[in-house]
Amino acid sequence: MDEQAKRLALALGTILDAIERVEACRGGRSTVPLKVMTLGELAVHCKRGDPFVWDPLGQSLRLGVKHLGEVLVRNGYDQGVMIEVAEHVAGNNGTRADIIDKWWDGIKLADGSTWAA
């Protein structure tokens, strides 16, 4: 991992630390009401911005995770380096790895493939 990738990994780790602090302050309680939705209802839910209404800080932080994945691609890093960054930042913490994987889902890589969670 080169120096720029290390700096991006540090930024990603900082965002994940903040996510963990937000979750700890909530005491494991979700701010989002639990509701079963059809795909159509989910589309409307997202279009209205409900995830941000219910969890503005958490959603913003998670979008930061996605953005850093996109920045890695724009800087020419391939899937191998992205995996190296993710593993470096997540360590043995499955929750951190899950957050990265979920929010990098759908990112188009330079080789034409797509990151899939």
Side chain identity at residue 55, one-letter code: D
Supply 104's token pair.
């990098």
Q: What is the pLDDT along the chain (117 residues), one digit of tens a residue?
A: 999 999 999 999 999 999 999 888 877 666 666 778 888 888 887 788 887 787 888 889 999 999 999 999 999 999 999 999 999 999 999 999 999 999 999 999 989 999 998
The structural domains of the chain, with segments of one domain joined by +, span 1-26+49-117
Q: Note the pLDDT of residue 35.
A: 78
Q: Note the pLDDT of residue 18.
A: 95
Q: Note the pLDDT of residue 92.
A: 92
* Three-class SS state of 114: strand
The residue count for the chain:
117
Least Cα distance to 32 among 20, 46, 18 occurs for 46
Q: Note the pLDDT of residue 57.
A: 87
Q: Note the pLDDT of residue 30.
A: 64
Least Cα distance to 61 among 20, 31, 30 occurs for 20
For residues 25 and 20, what is the distance between their CA atoms, to the nearest angstrom?
9
3-state SS of 32-80?
Answer: CCCCCCCHHHHHHHHHHCHHHHHCHHHHHHHHHHHHHHHHHHHCCCCHH
